[in-house]
């Protein structure tokens, strides 16, 4: 398994506890939306994590790239279900932090 696969698996494993904290019974909808984001951004995440690992971009630049992509994290099903916008924003921010933390832990151990 590649380092990138380890990173993606780590993010996926972190999704379930994260969504439980923010959306309770709508876990499956939130999980599906987050996994769709990972799939849609897989090529970019691979490019960015490779650049991070090689020192071509800084941790701050990586964070900026991931945060810039968060608008693609739609959480459509949750909005339809009427989850409050503030809770959706906190969930979106927590997911972006999860992606960043897993990337840094995987590609910059000891950072």
Mean pLDDT, range 98-107, rounded to an integer: 95
* Maximal C-alpha separation, the chain: 43
pTM of the model: 0.79
| Residues in Cβ contact with 88 at an 8 Å cutoff, skipping those fewer than 6 apart | 75, 78, 79
Element (DSSP H or E) covering residue 98: helix 85-107
Mean pLDDT, range 73-99, rounded to an integer: 79
| Residues in Cβ contact with 74 at an 8 Å cutoff, skipping those fewer than 6 apart | 33, 36, 37
pLDDT of residue 14: 93
Residue of 8, 10, 19 whose CA lies nearest to 42 = 8
Instruction: Give the residue, 70 or 51, on which the prediction is more confident.
Output: 51
Q: How far is residue 18's CA from residue 12's CA, in Å, rounded to a whole number?
A: 10
Q: What is the mean pLDDT of the chain?
A: 87
């Amino acid at each position: 398994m590649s380092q990138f696969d380890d990173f993606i698996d780590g993010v996926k494993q972190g999704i379930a506890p994260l969504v439980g904290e923010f959306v309770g019974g709508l876990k499956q909808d939130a999980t599906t939306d987050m996994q769709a984001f990972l799939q849609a951004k897989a090529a970019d995440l691979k490019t960015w994590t490779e650049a991070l690992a090689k020192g071509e971009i800084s941790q701050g630049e990586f964070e900026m790239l991931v945060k810039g992509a968060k608008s693609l994290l739609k959480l459509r099903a949750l909005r339809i279900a009427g989850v409050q916008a503030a809770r959706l924003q906190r969930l979106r921010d927590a997911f972006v932090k999860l992606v960043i933390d897993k990337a840094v832990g995987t590609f910059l151990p000891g950072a």
